[in-house]
Amino acid sequence: MYSSTVLEHLENPRNVGELADATIRGESFNPVCGDRMTLTLRVSAGTISDARFLVDGCPPSIAAGSMLTVLLINSDLDGAERLTPRRLSEELEQLPRHKEHCAILAIDALRSALAQLKLHAAEEI
């Protein structure tokens, strides 16, 4: 049912928690299933130097948050902007069709964080 990559991230989720010194924080919520995710990022000179996630949700959402942080750490902001739920699902060797929205939950948390970052940047101009 789940790929070996999903199962491996479930057994050993990466980067769980919250960064105390986060530059930015993003949150997402799916009102249909009730799952929610928080993503904290440390950003410096256009690069994401660290990332943590917390999820209150299903097993694939844990794997999606874990893989998302792996993809984000040491990524530049342009690369983060280009991440999509499809790419995240592909990195997990495909989520089951009925669980593809778990990748959307993770990317929504990322989009929320990136939107906050842009808001803060605009306020500083």
Question: Tell me, what amino acid is at 49?
Answer: S
Q: Which is nearer to ligand FES, 106 or 117 (CB)?
A: 106
Q: Does 94 bind ligand FES (CB under 6 A)?
A: no
Residue pair 77/118 in contact (Cβ under 8 Å)? The answer is no
- By the rule CB under 6 A, 33 interacts with ligand FES: yes
The minimum distance between CB 87 and ligand FES, in angstroms, equals 17
User: CB under 8 Å to 22, separation ≥6 — which residues?
Assistant: 40, 41, 42, 52
Task: Tell me if 10 contacts ligand FES by CB under 6 A.
Answer: no
With beta carbons less than 8 A apart as the criterion, state whether 71 and 91 touch.
yes
The yes or no reply on residue 60 touching ligand FES (CB under 6 A) is yes
Instruction: Find where tokens 């990022």 sit.
Output: 41
Q: Taking the complex as a whole, how short is the minimal distance between the CB of residue 81 and ligand FES, in angstroms?
A: 22
Contact 37, 28 (CB under 8 A): yes
How buried is residue 9: exposed, middle or buried, by Cβ count under 10 Å (0-12/13-18/19+)? buried
Annotated active-site residue 102? The verdict is yes
Residue of the chain from 15, 38, 40, 61 that contacts ligand FES (CB under 6 A): 61
33 is catalytic: yes
Question: Which one is catalytic: 19, 33, 54, 73?
Answer: 33
As annotated, the active-site residues are: 33, 102
Residues near ligand FES (CB under 6 A) are: 30, 33, 35, 57-58, 60-61, 101-102, 105
